[in-house]
Amino acid sequence: MLADGLLVAGQILAAAVLGAAVGLEREFGAQPAGLRTHMLVSVGAAVFSIAGAGLTGSDPARLAAQVVTGVGFLAGGVIFREGVTVRGLTTAASLWVTAAAGVAIGLGAWWTAAVATALAIAVLWLVKQLEWRFLPLRRTIVMRVSLRPGEPVNDAARAVEEVLPRLKVIQIGYEDRHQVIELTARPPAGVTLPQLAGSILRVQGVAGVDISS
């Protein structure tokens, strides 16, 4: 009994660690589902798998399908529309993979879970860096540009467009007595987000800029 209890504790702890590994990447990217969410999803999936495996006549495939269905509803909550851009799809997919790793841990497939988690982190971080550097046409950013009081919107928009020729204005509104231009754009190749933000801040009439990728 003690050995079985230690095994179960190890499985749950391992699921938490794997979920944390994926969640940290999402947390650093300021995504809606971060460290705690991924840890809980992985632990929950592992617990369902461990408990289900202990039931007589249980079907692991059916159990995994039910976990995936439940995570699907949860993942749907992180997908949202921001202007013309749909955001959260990658985070939803990371939750799905995290749940799969939790199920694998619960069923005793430790190596499968570890490899899947490592590959997920590589896709989330490394592939993003490669896309940013080598596939500029795939990069789309959402930018909120705050203007100084009294600054003509059209003049500021034209000045920003000189820095970002392929921008598309989503909407113009007010926030804290500042006019705010929300837009999407594809930044030039080889330009980092901090460099781009600095270039926008140097535009006459711009008071602040917030960029999300």
Rounded (5°) CA angle 194-196-199: 110
- This prediction's pTM: 0.61
Place of tokens 């837009």: 183
Enumerate domains of the chain plus CATH numbers.
2-134 (no CATH), 137-212 (3.30.70.60)
3-state secondary structure of 84: coil
Q: Could you give the CA distance from residue 9 to residue 14 in angstroms, rounded to a whole number?
A: 8
pLDDT tens figures, 103-114:
999 888 899 999
Beta bridge partners of 183: 143, 169
Q: Quick check: 183 and 170 in contact, CB under 8 A? A: yes
Q: Could you give the CA distance from residue 8 to residue 117 in angstroms, rounded to a whole number?
A: 20
Q: What is the pairing mode between strands 80-82 and 85-87? A: antiparallel
Q: Could you give the CA distance from residue 48 to residue 103 in angstroms, rounded to a whole number?
A: 8
40 band by pLDDT with thresholds 50, 70 and 90: very high
Beta bridge partners of 206: 147
Q: Quick check: 89 and 69 in contact, CB under 8 A? A: no
Pick from 76, 70, 13, 71: nearest CA to 39: 13
3-state secondary structure of 169: strand
Better-predicted residue by pLDDT, 52 or 131: 52
101 band by pLDDT with thresholds 50, 70 and 90: very high
pLDDT at 182: 83
CA 199 to chain centre: 26
Most confidently predicted of 5-14, 166-175, 185-194: 5-14
84 band by pLDDT with thresholds 50, 70 and 90: very low
Q: Quick check: 124 and 97 in contact, CB under 8 A? A: no
Q: Could you give the CA distance from residue 35 to residue 42 in angstroms, rounded to a whole number?
A: 11
